[in-house]
Chain A
Amino acid sequence: MKITVELNGAKVVHDVEPRETLADFVRDRCGLTATHLGCEHGACGACTVVVDGQVTRSCLVLAVMCDGRSIDTLEGLRNNPAMEVLRKHFHECHGLQCGFCTPGMLIMARDILQRLPGPDANTVRHELSGQICRCTGYTGIVKAIVAAGQELARDTPNG
């Protein structure tokens, strides 16, 4: 089946199999491997991308169902202002060790800060439910998101 999507701002047309997940589409068809596949059944969050502005587990959505939609992967958010602030704080707060979960964590972090600006640590912990990290113990990730949220809230006091 032929699908047309806006992938990281560019129009992309591809033939896909109906059973192909969005994760396999962006990784294998489009070569965008920042999207990581951890579990392929929606439990780990490593494959989180943005579809029409909403965080999405790309392993739980079929590519054919995204026909006509707009998709952002981590590659497409390289110059996103919130993402730049988040990357800086992930670096400074030791928000990653092996880095496997980091793409999903960053995309989820940006979504949290969009929905709940300036969150406290408890809110961040609750909202990170379903994003598995096996090596940081989450401490650095939570600190980084809280710090990024404070910086972004300072820079845009009216939201």
Chain B
Amino acid sequence: MKSAPFDYVRPRTVAEASALLAQAGVNAAAIAGGQSLVPMLNLRVAQVDLLVDLSRLDELKAVGETSENLQIGALTTHAAIEDGMIPDPFGGLMRRVASTISYRAVRNYGTIGGSIALADPAADWTGCLIALGAVVRIGGRNGAREQAVEDFVQGTYSTSLGPGEVILGFDVPRSDAPLRCGFAKVARKSGAFANSIAYVVVQGRGGLVTVVLAAAAPRPIVLAGAARHLASGVDSEDALRAAVADDLKTYLPDADPYETRLHISTVVRAARDMRTQT
């Protein structure tokens, strides 16, 4: 349970970090909170030559708010979000999601940027940020770029992050209409990796609806049929179940009957949760 040896460096700027991460022939990894990477190193499911410590880069800590969006620095911890240290103009969804991630001591270190960069299929933030339509800001040797989180996360532990690229932060769009957000999660026990997570985001009455299912596949799935049903205003849980079942046939054709029941129930609970939000 001890990691293999590696070198460690603590760059002072993002540019320096990018250069270190992009060195040819060096298996380098970025570390922020380390709450996933350190156990992976200890269990030796991950092995690196060089660990590049991003945790003290102020460039990655900025949080700001404009009329259009909320900007969240990559190093923002789950605990900071849980405690309301950053604005949450999404009906408290981000605070609630943060509070269910692992355990408090882990939330004190784990960061939203690290979570998205790792792209664990059972992660909480990937689905949440996709549901909120967030964009990830990425810095690298060739300047900065932006990408929708939905496109950035490509599969199990797989993102579009190139050599030397670092997540700077996220822009989460604000809605003119008040948001109503619902969320439901099933895990084997408190703080364990989830087996199913559903997010429902509704913009105003009769506005845009987004439904995202996470922890079900290598990357979160956007459920178009369920969203159409919820947007139709028809208040029928049976019809919602049928819509989710159709979505799952399309997006998750290999799901077994239990997985299908589980994911339908998570989406239904998330929709109920959304209706209880004012």
Residues of A within 8 A of B (CB): 1, 17-19, 21, 24, 40-42, 45, 48, 54-57, 59-62, 64-65, 67, 108, 111, 126-127, 129-131
B35 touches A60 (CB 8 A): yes
Contacting residues, chain A, for B108 (C-beta < 8 A): 54-56
Contact sample, A vs B, 27 pairs, CB 8 Å cutoff: A17-B5, A18-B5, A18-B51, A19-B3, A19-B4, A19-B41, A40-B2, A40-B42, A41-B1, A41-B39, A45-B105, A55-B108, A57-B35, A60-B35, A60-B106, A61-B38, A62-B8, A62-B51, A64-B10, A64-B53, A65-B34, A108-B104, A111-B104, A127-B104, A129-B104, A129-B191, A130-B106
Contacting residues, chain A, for B51 (C-beta < 8 A): 18, 62
For window 1-45 of B, CB contacts with A under 8 Å fall at 1-8, 10, 31, 34-35, 38-39, 41-43
A65 touches B55 (CB 8 A): yes
Q: Which residue of B lies closest to A56 (CB)?
A: B105
A19 touches B2 (CB 8 A): yes
A54 to chain B, nearest CB (A): 4
Contacting residues, chain A, for B42 (C-beta < 8 A): 21, 40-41, 59
- The size class of the interface chain B forms with chain A is 20 to 34
Beyond A45-B103, A130-B102, A131-B103, 15 extra complex contacts between A and B, CB < 8 Å: A17-B5, A18-B6, A18-B7, A18-B8, A21-B42, A40-B1, A41-B39, A56-B109, A60-B38, A62-B8, A62-B51, A65-B31, A65-B34, A111-B104, A130-B105
**Cross-chain contact of A126 among B38, B106, B190 (Cβ < 8 A):** B190
B7 touches A42 (CB 8 A): no
B109 touches A61 (CB 8 A): yes
Contacting residues, chain B, for A64 (C-beta < 8 A): 8, 10, 53
- The CA of A21 and the CA of B34, in the complex, are separated in Å by 11
- The CA of A18 and the CA of B28, in the complex, are separated in Å by 14
A142 to chain B, nearest CB (A): 14
Contacting residues, chain B, for A130 (C-beta < 8 A): 102-106, 190-191
Please provide the 8 A-B residue pairs with the shortest distance between their CB atoms, ordered closest to farther: A130-B103, A18-B8, A40-B1, A41-B39, A129-B190, A19-B3, A54-B108, A55-B105
Contacting residues, chain B, for A48 (C-beta < 8 A): 105
A108 touches B38 (CB 8 A): no
- The CA of A70 and the CA of B59, in the complex, are separated in Å by 23
B103 touches A60 (CB 8 A): no
Contacting residues, chain A, for B102 (C-beta < 8 A): 42, 130
Contacting residues, chain B, for A55 (C-beta < 8 A): 104-105, 108
A1 touches B8 (CB 8 A): yes
Q: Which residue of B lies closest to A130 (CB)?
A: B103
A60 touches B39 (CB 8 A): yes
Contacting residues, chain A, for B191 (C-beta < 8 A): 129-130
- The CA of A59 and the CA of B102, in the complex, are separated in Å by 15
A107 to chain B, nearest CB (A): 9
Contacting residues, chain B, for A108 (C-beta < 8 A): 104-105
Q: Which residue of A lies closest to B8 (CB)?
A: A18
Contacting residues, chain A, for B104 (C-beta < 8 A): 55, 108, 111, 127, 129-130
Contacting residues, chain B, for A21 (C-beta < 8 A): 38, 42
Contacting residues, chain B, for A24 (C-beta < 8 A): 2
- A60-B39, A62-B38 known; A42-B106 Cβ under 8 A: yes
Contacting residues, chain A, for B190 (C-beta < 8 A): 126, 129-130
B8 to chain A, nearest CB (A): 4
B109 touches A62 (CB 8 A): no
B162 to chain A, nearest CB (A): 25
B2 touches A57 (CB 8 A): no
Q: Which residue of B lies closest to A24 (CB)?
A: B2
